[in-house]
């Protein structure tokens, strides 16, 4: 039997970059974690386990084994391939066509160089060719892992760390040993983001073609361990509002509230700490912007991915070289965007003087949503008042509500929660904020509570000539529809978008198609609320933020959200595969 590969008519190389996403067991005791799943089929898997010696969790990437002879073969092919192919041409192709191209070219090379290599060896060698030419080298398997949120490399001779969606922080068996190699990897990252790094401009901030965000430093300074990089991964298709329900990040009532606010052009700011899920929530509630509205978005690095056609995205550009030539910052972009007369302006994150333009825009009737780093309304108001933003306190009154995202550990599992929704009732000239908090998450019970006394609804009712009852009724209908969608597992991007858009056109029909009627709901809803045990409603602590409005509304009852927690993490939007246990009971239906 000949050892040579068949170079003329090879079968299509078998490599699956999207293997089935497993249902990972949640393990309360870290030392008991021991799971293995496929990242790139049939070549690479990961073993996550408790490393007894090190006393920490380990993420061990298991790649195909090559013996010394095979490693030499790989090196020969890699060197020759590197000389033959034009990397710039390569990155413009689709992954499939790149794989095919590498495969064909390598087989040709093997034949020309007359290398002895069996089909079996070739396949293992091919994996490394794919990894290094098409992928992102050693970290390619991590990029392919649906469960990874963050990848972090702090230089040479120190392991790459990551944040896992289920098992959180852990060390990997990837360790860059050579500064030059790491530096050229950072150059590769820069090239993939369409940017440029050099000693003169050593900071990289960009997005990879899959939407992941990259930050890197390009330095060969030995004392600082050399270059560093972090990659924040995003799901290709953003999470829908329903998927956030699946993850128990918030309640249908909270979503229904945002839906009504966005429809009536209210202004919303999402606050929270680092990586608390602000951008994800922003993107999810953007589903509720009426389909025909004109939306402009402004970001430093591209993260938003909105479910709509009528959308003009723009990304700030940093200057190349000295003198800030060619720089377009958020401030100028935002000023410019208001000239395009959008219905909605979405600013990815407010940090500096652009906040001023944003608030002025709001004051002149453009609805806006944005995120900001702050963990409470108090901190937020302070940040807005002090340099570099220095907003006049009264201008803050144009803001309708602040949603506060937080990391939270629930049953020893790290989760993200919408901790509270705070309405800005009034900010006086001294900067004291009067607030109202219609929605809170109760940590002890892991339950969401709400009360029907929205001050923003009152504002909207006045502005749009509606009654509070009408708004509350609409709120109930939408909350129920969202419940129902979640219960039925309708949470994919296209489905969610379609139903929400359809609802804007024909609510009665949509409600009917889900067996929800649009009339006579008040009594049913009220009845349901009345059934909630009283002691539960009393356990809710009022958050100590700002002042409560002077007059407490009469309807003070806070209502717990359905008690059944859905299992698992819902579906991965871009693949539609089930993770975790399919949910049995789902949330309690409001209609009981």
Ligand X SMILES: Nc1ncnc2c1ncn2[C@@H]1O[C@H](COP(=O)(O)OP(=O)(O)OP(=O)(O)O)[C@@H](O)[C@H]1O
Binding residues for ligand X, rule: CB under 6 A, are: 149, 233, 244, 247, 249, 272, 274-280, 349, 371, 416
Closer CB to ligand X, 219 or 406, in the complex: 406
Contact 270, 250 (CB under 8 A): no
- Which tokens hold the place of 133? 């030419």
Answer with the entry of Mg ion, ligand X, none that 274 interacts with (C-beta below 5 to 8 A by kind): ligand X
CA 163, 168, 173, 177 torsion: positive or negative?
A: positive
Q: Smallest gap, in angstroms, from Cβ of residue 255 to ligand X?
A: 12
How many separate helices (H) and strands (E) can be counted in the chain? 18, 21
Query: Phi and psi at residue 547, in whole multiples of 5°?
Result: -110, 150
The CA distance from 589 to 592, in Å, is 5
Name the DSSP letter for residue 397. G
Judged by beta carbon distances under 5 to 8 A according to partner kind, the member of ligand X, Mg ion, none in contact with residue 149 is ligand X
Least distance to ligand X, CB of residue 548, Å: 27
367's tokens:
């609805």
* Nearest residue (beta carbon) to ligand X: 277
User: What is the DSSP code string of 116-168?
Assistant: ---HHHHHHHHHHHIIIIIS-GGGHHHHH-TTEEEEEE-STTSEEEEEETTTE
* Comparison of 419 and 452: residue with beta carbon closer to ligand X: 419
Nearer to ligand X, 247 or 262 (CB): 247
Closest separation in Å from C-beta 287 to Mg ion: 17
CB of 88 to Mg ion, least distance (A): 31
Q: 586 touches which of Mg ion, ligand X, none (CB within 5 to 8 A by kind)?
A: none
Could you tell which of ligand X, Mg ion, none binds residue 423, using a CB distance below 5 to 8 A set by kind? none
Of residues 350 and 510, the one with the C-beta less far from ligand X: 350
Minimal distance, residue 56 CB to ligand X, in Å: 21
361 binds, among Mg ion, ligand X, none (CB under 5 to 8 A by kind): none
Which backbone phi and psi does 486 adopt, to 5 degrees? -65, -45
Residue closer to Mg ion by CB (options 140, 300) is: 300
545 binds, among Mg ion, ligand X, none (CB under 5 to 8 A by kind): none
Q: Find the shortest distance in angstroms from Cβ 414 to ligand X.
A: 8
- Which partner from the list Mg ion, ligand X, none does 276 bind, CB cut-off 5 to 8 Å by kind? ligand X
**212 CB neighbour count, 10 Å cutoff:** 22
What is the nearest approach in angstroms of ligand X to the Cβ of residue 336?
A: 23
Least distance in angstroms from the C-beta of 372 to Mg ion: 10
Nearer to ligand X, 80 or 442 (CB): 442
* Residue 19's binding partner out of Mg ion, ligand X, none, with CB under 5 to 8 Å set by partner kind: none
What is the helix (H) or strand (E) element at residue 499, kind and residue range?
A: helix 493-505
The footprint of Mg ion on residues 249-288 (CB under 5 A) is 278-279
* Residues ≥6 apart with Cβ < 8 Å to 31: 50, 52
* 3-state SS, one letter per residue, for 330-375: HHHHHHHHHHCCCCEEEECCCCCCHHHHHHHHHHCCCEEEEEEEEC
- SS3 for 482? helix
Q: At what angle do helices 468-487 and 493-505 cross, to 10 degrees?
A: 150
Q: Which is nearer to ligand X, 125 or 355 (CB)?
A: 355
Residue 337, token pair as written in the block:
């965007």
Q: How far is the CB of 486 from ligand X (least distance, A)?
A: 14
275 versus 565: smaller Cβ distance to Mg ion: 275
Q: Is 389 helix (H, G, I), strand (E, B) or coil?
A: coil
Q: Which does 244 bind (CB under 5 to 8 A by kind): ligand X, Mg ion, none?
A: ligand X
State both tokens at 368.
């806006």
Which are the contacts of 500, defined by CB distance < 8 A and separation ≥ 6?
241, 259, 287, 288
Q: Select the binding partner of residue 416 from ligand X, Mg ion, none (C-beta < 5 to 8 A, by kind).
A: ligand X
Rounded to whole angstroms, how far apart are CA atoms 258 and 402?
Answer: 11
Residue 278 or 455 with smaller CB distance to Mg ion? 278
Number of residues that bind Mg ion (CB under 5 A): 2
349 or 476: whose CB is closer to Mg ion? 349
Least spacing, CB of residue 274 vs Mg ion, in Å: 9
Please, what is the minimum distance in Å from the beta carbon of residue 121 to ligand X?
Answer: 37
Q: Are 573 and 243 in contact (CB under 8 A)?
A: yes
272 interacts with, out of ligand X, Mg ion, none, CB within 5 to 8 A per kind: ligand X
Q: Name the minimum Å distance from CB 245 to ligand X.
A: 10
Nearer to Mg ion, 274 or 531 (CB): 274
The position carrying tokens 């590769």 is 188
Q: Which option in ligand X, Mg ion, none does residue 249 bind, with CB closer than 5 to 8 A by kind? A: ligand X
> Is the four-CA dihedral 496, 469, 562, 547 of positive or negative sign?
positive
Kindly state the smallest distance separating residue 371's Cβ from ligand X, in Å.
6
Q: Which of 561, 517, 536 has its CA nearest to residue 253?
A: 561
438 binds, among ligand X, Mg ion, none (CB under 5 to 8 A by kind): none
| C-alpha–C-alpha distance, residues 586 and 560, integer Å | 15
Q: Give whichever of 274 and 531 is closer to ligand X, judged by the CB atom.
A: 274
Q: Which residues contact 148 (CB under 8 A, 6 or more apart)?
A: 142, 162, 163, 164, 165, 233
275 binds, among ligand X, Mg ion, none (CB under 5 to 8 A by kind): ligand X
Choice between 384 and 516, CB closer to ligand X: 384
| 27 Cβ contact list (under 8 Å, min separation 6) | 33, 167
Write down the least CB distance from residue 357 to ligand X, Å.
20
CB nearer to ligand X: pick between 124 and 351: 351
Polymer length of the chain = 592
| Residues at the interface with Mg ion (CB under 5 A) | 278-279
């Amino acid at each position: 039997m000949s050892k040579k590969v068949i170079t003329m008519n090879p079968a299509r190389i078998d490599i699956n970059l999207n293997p089935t996403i497993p249902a990972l067991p949640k393990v309360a005791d870290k030392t008991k974690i021991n799971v293995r799943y496929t990242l790139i089929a049939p070549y690479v898997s990961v073993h996550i386990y408790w490393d007894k010696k090190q006393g920490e969790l380990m993420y061990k990437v298991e790649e195909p084994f090559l013996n010394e002879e095979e490693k030499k073969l790989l090196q020969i092919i890699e060197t020759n391939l590197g000389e033959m192919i034009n990397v710039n041409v390569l990155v413009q192709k689709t992954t499939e066509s790149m794989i095919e191209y590498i495969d064909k070219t390598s087989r040709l090379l093997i034949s020309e160089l007359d290398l002895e290599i069996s089909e079996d060896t070739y396949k293992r060698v091919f994996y490394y060719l794919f990894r290094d030419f098409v992928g992102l080298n050693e970290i390619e398997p991590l990029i392919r892992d649906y469960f990874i949120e963050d990848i972090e490399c702090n230089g040479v001779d120190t392991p790459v760390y990551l944040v896992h969606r289920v098992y959180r922080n852990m060390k990997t068996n990837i360790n860059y040993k050579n500064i030059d190699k790491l530096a050229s990897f950072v150059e590769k990252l820069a090239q993939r983001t369409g940017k440029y790094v050099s000693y003169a401009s050593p900071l990289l901030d960009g997005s990879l073609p899959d939407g992941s965000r990259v930050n890197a430093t390009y330095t060969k300074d030995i004392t600082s361990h050399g270059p560093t990089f972090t990659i924040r991964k995003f799901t290709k298709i953003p999470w829908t509002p329903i998927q956030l329900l699946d993850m128990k990040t918030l309640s249908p009532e909270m979503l229904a509230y945002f839906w009504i606010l966005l429809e009536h052009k209210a202004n919303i700011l999402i606050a929270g700490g680092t990586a608390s899920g602000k951008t994800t929530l922003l993107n999810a509630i953007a589903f509720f912007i009426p389909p025909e509205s004109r939306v402009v978005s402004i970001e430093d690095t591209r993260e938003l991915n909105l479910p709509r056609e009528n959308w003009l995205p723009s990304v700030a550009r940093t200057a190349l070289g000295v003198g800030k030539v060619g720089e377009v910052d958020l401030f100028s972009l935002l000023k410019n965007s208001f000239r395009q007369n959008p219905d909605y302006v979405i600013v990815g994150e407010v940090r500096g003087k652009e906040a001023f333009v944003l608030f002025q825009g709001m004051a002149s009737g453009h609805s806006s949503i944005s995120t900001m780093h702050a963990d409470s309304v108090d901190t937020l108001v302070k940040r807005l008042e002090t340099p570099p933003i220095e907003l006049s306190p009264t201008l803050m009154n144009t803001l309708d509500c602040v949603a506060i995202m937080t990391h939270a550990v629930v049953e020893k599992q790290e989760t993200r929660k919408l901790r509270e929704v705070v309405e800005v009732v009034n900010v006086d000239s001294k900067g004291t904020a009067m607030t109202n908090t219609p929605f809170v998450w109760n940590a002890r019970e892991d339950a969401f509570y709400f009360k029907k006394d929205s001050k923003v609804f009152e504002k909207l009712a006045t502005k749009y000539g509606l009654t509070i009852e009408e708004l509350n009724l609409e709120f109930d209908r939408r909350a129920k529809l969202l419940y129902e969608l979640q219960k039925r597992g309708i949470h994919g991007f296209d489905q969610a978008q379609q139903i929400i858009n359809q609802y804007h056109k024909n609510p009665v029909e949509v409600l009917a198609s889900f067996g929800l009627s649009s009339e006579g709901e008040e009594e049913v809803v009220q009845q349901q609320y009345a059934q909630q045990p009283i002691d539960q409603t009393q356990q809710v602590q009022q958050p100590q933020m700002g002042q409560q409005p002077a007059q407490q509304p009469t309807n003070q009852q806070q209502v717990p959200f359905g008690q059944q927690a859905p299992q698992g993490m819902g579906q991965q939007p871009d693949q539609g595969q089930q993770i975790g246990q399919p949910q049995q009971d789902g949330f309690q239906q409001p209609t009981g």
